[in-house]
Structure 1
Amino acid sequence: MSPKIKTARKDLEKIPIVSSKRKHKWRACSLGQHWVRSHPRRVKVTKKNPTGYTDVEGHCRHNRSKKDEIYKDELDKIANEYFDNLRGKPFPCDLGFNKTKTYNGNSYDKLIRGWTKYWNEVLKPNEPLDPDLVKALIASESSFNKDSKNPAGKGNMARGLMQVTDETLKILKDEKGEIKNHLIDLDQKDMYNPNANICAGIRWLFRKKETASARLKRVATWEEAVAEYKSYLRLLLKAPKVGIKNFEKFKSYYDKLKNECS
């Protein structure tokens, strides 16, 4: 039987990390569980624990929803353990964002590469998502400013590199909402963390491809998914020749990555 961490909460039972039922090879836990990093826990002060704290090892915790969920601790764990050795797209072109270290266009290539690969392998689209498209989307959404924050209507704010909105965050973690599985449990402050933001933004882009396909009554392209992500698809369907500055900017960045930079 697996050892238990001393706690009154049953959902903190320590579960073996190795499992044949993991959703993805990078995931630390079985389906229906998520990873919790090592952390201190307050305990009664004794001679054995004079500080009043004890160390809790990293462990797997049951999800109440019993669905596939991922939390920030595991996002960090995955990026730290697997992303450094990945190769390939996006192309190392800064798209003109090279004036400061903060807004450098190549600063997040490793995270783009890693999370695009992860979600392609988990969600298995017929046409895999191109990391260059994600990079172009980030350029058009935030100019690679991880601290970007903008109003998104009705008290809603868009935050971080991929301008993930507060409303989107609620949907991504809602076990009874429109996303039926592969949930991400993050909060608003996490959206200023590039690793968490890119993971959440790409997951949402996959969802927008589904809603774009439903709107079009056919399988949407990834560029159409981007239009849906930016809330432009409905307008483009009504007036195909209308130029939308932000969407045209995205297309120019993507074209540059595919043709001029490569």
Structure 2
Amino acid sequence: MPRIRLEDSSKIDNNVWLIEPSEAHHLLHVRRCKEGQKVEGLLGDRLVVLRLEVRDDKLLGHVEWEEECPPERSLWVLLGLTKAEAFELALRQVTECGATVIVPLRCERSVVRIDEKKEAAKMARWNSILKEATKQARAFRVPKLFPLVQVKDITTLALPAFKYGAFLDEGSVELLSCRPKDEAAIAIGPEGDWSDEEKKMLVEFDFKPVSLGARIMRAPTAAAVGTAVLSMLLEKG
């Protein structure tokens, strides 16, 4: 069933939604939906199943039924900044894998440098990517995206008690062996891994060094693997 987000659509009465123009265009001209077809609308705290109607060049959705959002455990992903395509892929993948909060990190080995003038435009694009990824994953809520921060400043964030840093160093424990409860955070470095100083800071900030396995992964792959494993560990409780 096709999915849309309803945050930018408007409810014109208790049982009818006026679907936002870009979502309407996507349904009618990209997904080729027909009048009377059902779609799923994602809206933070609930899922709404809608039956489509075209009226006066507008797309309406008649509510068939609603489903409340199940309880969601908090999963923070602190993501080292990489080149544009790789970082956008990582954003999509961690969203699909269960991230609820994403913090982009300026790292010493981040090749990309984003100045303040361009940051607002980047944030808008990244938020758009997160919204699209929630449709693929059938995620009720869009992850909260923080502005770019440096590793030294992450202590200003209200992070969960269970914190893990993905390191390539020998001696890191396997993430699979960890047992987080209720909420957790994982930090994934950029291509080339963390600098020695960043590793030292993360350990000082109570991030437990963890391994994602024997293979050396590209940053987006590591982000997806780390997020997926941690999400499953949280689900197990």
> What TM-score bracket applies, with the shorter chain setting the length?
under 0.3
Q: TM-score, normalised by structure 1?
A: 0.22
Q: Which has the higher contact order (CA 8 A, sep 6+)?
A: 2
User: Which has a greater percent of helix?
Assistant: 1
Q: TM-score, normalised by structure 2?
A: 0.24
